[in-house]
Amino acid sequence: MKLKSRAKINLTLDVLYKREDGYHEVKMIMQEIELADNIYFRKCDQLKVNCLHPFVPNGSSNLVYKAVELVKRKTGVNKGISIEIEKKIPVAAGLGGGSSNAATTILGLNKLWNLGLNVKQMESIAGELGADVPFFIQGGTQLATGTGKDLTIINKAPALWVVLAKPNLGVSTKEVYQNLSIGNISNHPDTSNMLNAIRQQDKKGICTYLGNVLELVTLHRYSNVKILKNKICEMGANGALMSGSGPTVFGLCEEYEKAIQIAKGLGPLSEEVFVTKFV
């Protein structure tokens, strides 16, 4: 069985306070995009997880391996499976690649092993693997609160093109949260106006209300990310923002031709560039 495992961007990402459990209380709007890894499931007596990408671990430290072990523990099923991940989503980029792979694994095993898990049960298993994982069980456009695991589906967002630009560096999500001074956030994203824009299929509104407080950390630390974001704006994107903890920056465009023009013009500032769209 082959399944697509899609990436996400954050249209808004607000941090409200640091919780007693060390995590941060967030309020964010997550959007699934077409850029995807492929995941191949094959029958096997043992548990094997393979990925040829140099920065993705094989075996037990891969999030996919952890997802299989957790599903087995939760359901009492004791089977093997061989899973191969064909990576296309940049790694440690703020696009949720590993989280998406883990969620796709839960969905895949539910099907292959006839587990009969419903969405809520799958989201609950997903939540034990990471804050971003539950979103990918249903994908689309969702409001995420709590640590990111309390999810509400929003109407389908209107079709927008996305230019993704990843500079040549990876960031640690943990470090970015650790370095955020919540008292220094002067400009919280306007989540409610973004929700209105999505509900009204207002593309200009969506581009206007983009906001991510984690830019305060990553753009400050890596001037290249800031330069890249400015360049995407200057080249005529309708809006631009860093995704998640970064360093990937995205530009939104109403026209496909504009997205392609921006992608071609970014040059050496970014190591990887993709033109993709909202799911």
Ligand X SMILES: Nc1ncnc2c1ncn2[C@@H]1O[C@H](COP(=O)(O)OP(=O)(O)OP(=O)(O)O)[C@@H](O)[C@H]1O
Q: Does 188 bind ligand CDM (CB under 6 A)?
A: no
β-bridge pairing 2-18 and 211-212: parallel
**Sole binder of ligand CDM in the list 42, 43, 156, 174 (CB under 6 A):** 174
The verdict on 31 binding ligand CDM (CB under 6 A) reads no
Return the range that interacts with ligand X (CB under 6 A); candidates 22-30, 91-99, 117-125, 215-223.
91-99
Out of 9, 63, 81, 206, point to the residue binding ligand X (CB under 6 A): 63
Binder of residue 109, out of ligand CDM, ligand X, none (CB less than 5 to 8 A by kind) = none
**Active-site position among 14, 27, 37, 132:** 132
- 5, 12, 110, 245: which one binds ligand CDM (CB under 6 A): 245
| C-beta of residue 162 within 8 angstroms of C-beta of residue 243 | no
**Is 151 one of the annotated binding-site residues?**
no
Least distance in angstroms from the C-beta of 43 to ligand X: 20
Q: Is 99 annotated as a binding residue?
A: yes
Q: Of ligand CDM, ligand X, none, which one sits near residue 55, judging by CB under 5 to 8 A according to partner kind?
A: ligand X
> What residue numbers does the annotated binding site cover?
90-100
* Residues labelled as active-site residues: 8, 132
